[in-house]
Amino acid sequence: MVDLKLFEVDPHSGVGELLVRGPNVVKGYWNKPEATAQTFVDGWLHTGDLARIDEDGFVQIVDRKKDMINRGGENVYCVEVESALAAHPAVYEAAVIGVPDEMMGEKVGAVIVVRPGAKPDADDILAFARERLADFKVPQYLVMRQEPLARNPGGKVLKAPLRKNVDWGRQVGEHRR
């Protein structure tokens, strides 16, 4: 038996950090008391996953807490934006991260890997995204490239190198908020 609950739930979206506890949940990290104290609080494991729990107890993972973008007080879940962009026929894959912004805190940045032979236009991709996303979720920065995104051995996109190495250039559609 495992207990689940949400921590710091957003009242509008119902999304909060997923907490887990039970006899089958590890009690802490081996020889890492500081990490254990941060992650295991009052018997609950803070998973770092943002989720919703419906009335039947089903859990929907929305994103990773560290990957969520806070754009002027609005939460942008990278997975949602990545899925919308990846649905474009010229997009092979997409990674979305927060781009630091003095006024908004963060703005939405997307690195798009273009399908072989495709020659997409940035305006076309952004128009496609606008049909599927709320305005504040549409990327303000867009980088298109041919080379695949770096991944860890488990296949997860490595976003830290993107945060560090991508030159975002000029904001696209600067007339937008």
Residues 143 and 92 in one domain: yes
Task: Render pLDDT for 89-134 as a digit per residue (tens, 0 to 9).
Answer: 999 999 999 999 999 999 999 999 999 999 988 999 999 999 999 9
Whole-model pTM: value is 0.76
How far is CA 22 from its chain centroid?
Answer: 27
Residues 151 and 103 in one domain: yes
* Spatial distance between the Cα atoms of 77 and 61, rounded to a whole number of angstroms: 11
Domain of 105, CATH number, reads 3.30.300.30
Question: Residue 174: which pLDDT band, with cuts at 50, 70 and 90?
Answer: low
End of a domain among 32, 65, 98? 65
176 belongs to a structural domain: no
Residues 54 and 83 in one domain: no
Q: Which residues contact 78 (CB under 8 A, 6 or more apart)?
A: 63, 64, 67, 68, 69, 95, 96, 97
Task: Render pLDDT for 34-79 as a digit per residue (tens, 0 to 9).
Answer: 988 989 999 899 998 889 999 898 999 888 888 889 899 888 999 9
| Domain span holding position 113 | 68-165
* DSSP β-bridge partners for residue 113: 93, 145
